[in-house]
Structure 1
């Protein structure tokens, strides 16, 4: 069997998941990997074909940067990629929210299976925000259409919904709780983060930011450029984590039994869905970088009692049988 595993490289979660699933799939079939998108810090551990695709980009005030999204994405290049992508040699296409192969397979009536967090976000039992996000939801539905899908979420909604896949590097961490908090808010500029967190003078913050070029200490905040290995080492010993309402990283924090506070990226439907789902599990958060709510969270010492089951082998079996 020849399989194409296609994934999106906006954010790091899709790549983290592929680094676990692709080696397992290679035990059963020949697997090629295709990555589209241009806004991820993690690297895929293997050979892959890459394409600019369509990506989201963030502003510096907690939201989406629509001007940069329009500037950095080319609809004409995307359409050309869809028409020219060679889907014919593959017996099966596994798609983690990747639009080029999704539409190319649709045009050529090729077998394609969705394997993404977005599939579960759209589940009828999964929490979703109010009607004002109707357009964002429509975009999510149309972005990478597939015939059948398996989804990942914090809660299992049916037999085709699976818990998050936790990387081995996270599972093997030797954890401790030192007296500092880790921060990863890539949609906020450093000045905005410092303006809020500097008011909480009794707490030290280790902030990893795409806006940092060098490490720099500023008051009770230390800013670092993105470095996966250094980030993971600070995660292991942090008391808690302040981050966006993504999927894989909050799941890793919950797996490590650390305090978690999430802030959804403004205008991103998926993150608002995650925010609501995490609140149902007892995770604290806010829709803005709010000093009072963060201070309440710190004082609470609250750790959500959440556990995830590793069903990776069962998922692989289901996908291959399908």
Structure 2
């Protein structure tokens, strides 16, 4: 089977998921072409697993000061370029298109009547899952940004719906952690403001990752540029993460048994809903803004949740090899039987 795979590159979560899928698709012998959009081409890193890939500008969202600005997103969009890219993408030689919430690929496939398989967290919102912070604009974006014929939704829990667990790498559980070490990834926040709120907690060591590293004058706050290997190592070693309420990083933290403090982007329905789900499930703590009292309480909290998820990328690839039969509740229930949730002390 020949596949065209489009990945939204605005955040690193989609790319991380695609890396895991790429390994399983290659192992299964599928011929895959990858396309990435959502950020400038020179801002992608550690892309070797994709064996060369296409890049288009695509669509993205304007973010700043911890929130999404939909009005600026519309004004900064380049509709003529987007339409040109959609019309210029020839999918006639492909048997299937996969979209990880990537709009150029999804809309090109729809225009050319090529079947689209949507894989990602966003497609879980087609079902009855925790949902808050919604508004007509958010609903419109979620439904039409990257439409698919078949959507495979991913979430931390099934909520009684035919959705699957997260697609993540499954490393060994850390045998030892650095109890006072915290990874901070808040790329949509003002980084100096983040440092200001963390500086009073001198008994903890913070590893702060951001797209544009800032200078930290505090010995207990180390600022890092984005680095896949460095970030993975620090997440593996740390006791917990402070991050926005993106899906993929929280999934990795749960798989590794790290405590979570999530600050959702304002005006971003998906992240607000993710934070609500973390709280509802008892999987993490949340804060609406950088609130020192909540940060302090969470830092001294020694409880976490360790979830062992099966290899969902392999489950999906095997399902594709079987002709993609209807992914009903019975199928997904069998998958969820392989999920193990454990409360731990750190």
TM-score in same-fold range (> 0.5)? yes
The whole-number CA distance in structure 2 between the counterparts of 1:201 and 1:134 is: 44
Residues 33-88 of structure 1 show CA distances to partners (whole Å, capped at 9, x for unaligned) of 111110776543221111111112421x2112557645653111001111121011
The whole-number CA distance in structure 2 between the counterparts of 1:281 and 1:253 is: 15
Structure-2 residue corresponding to 1:194: 195
Counterparts of residues 79-158 of structure 1 (less than 5 Å): 79-124=83-128, 126-131=129-134, 133-157=135-159
Helix, strand or coil at the partner of 1:229: helix
Structure-2 residue corresponding to 1:52: 57
The whole-number CA distance in structure 2 between the counterparts of 1:222 and 1:71 is: 36
Q: CA deviation at 1:153?
A: 0.8
Of stretches 287-296 and 220-229 in structure 1, the one that deviates more from structure 2 is 220-229
Q: CA deviation at 1:29?
A: 2.3
| RMSD over aligned Cα atoms | 2.3
Helix, strand or coil at the partner of 1:239: strand
The whole-number CA distance in structure 2 between the counterparts of 1:141 and 1:107 is: 17
Matched residue count: 317
Of stretches 231-240 and 199-208 in structure 1, the one that deviates more from structure 2 is 199-208
Could you tell me whether the CA contact under 8 Å between 2:152 and 2:164 is conserved in 1?
yes
Helix, strand or coil at the partner of 1:31: strand
The whole-number CA distance in structure 1 between the counterparts of 2:133 and 2:148 is: 25
The whole-number CA distance in structure 2 between the counterparts of 1:130 and 1:72 is: 24
The whole-number CA distance in structure 2 between the counterparts of 1:63 and 1:43 is: 27
Residues 80-132 of structure 1 show CA distances to partners (whole Å, capped at 9, x for unaligned) of 111121011111111111111211111121111111110013322x100045x
The whole-number CA distance in structure 2 between the counterparts of 1:89 and 1:158 is: 38
Could you tell me whether the CA contact under 8 Å between 1:208 and 1:224 is conserved in 2?
yes
Structure-1 residue corresponding to 2:221: 221
Could you tell me whether the CA contact under 8 Å between 1:9 and 1:37 is conserved in 2?
yes
Helix, strand or coil at the partner of 1:202: coil
Structure-1 residue corresponding to 2:304: 303
The whole-number CA distance in structure 2 between the counterparts of 1:233 and 1:305 is: 18
Normalised TM-score (structure 2) = 0.84
The whole-number CA distance in structure 1 between the counterparts of 2:17 and 2:237 is: 23
Structure-2 residue corresponding to 1:244: 244
Residues 134-156 of structure 1 show CA distances to partners (whole Å, capped at 9, x for unaligned) of 32122111101111111111112
Structure-2 residue corresponding to 1:206: 207
For structure 1, list consecutive stretches of 5 or more residues without a partner in the other structure.
none
The whole-number CA distance in structure 1 between the counterparts of 2:23 and 2:181 is: 35
The whole-number CA distance in structure 2 between the counterparts of 1:271 and 1:182 is: 19
Helix, strand or coil at the partner of 1:162: coil
Q: CA deviation at 1:295?
A: 1.1
Normalised TM-score (structure 1) = 0.90
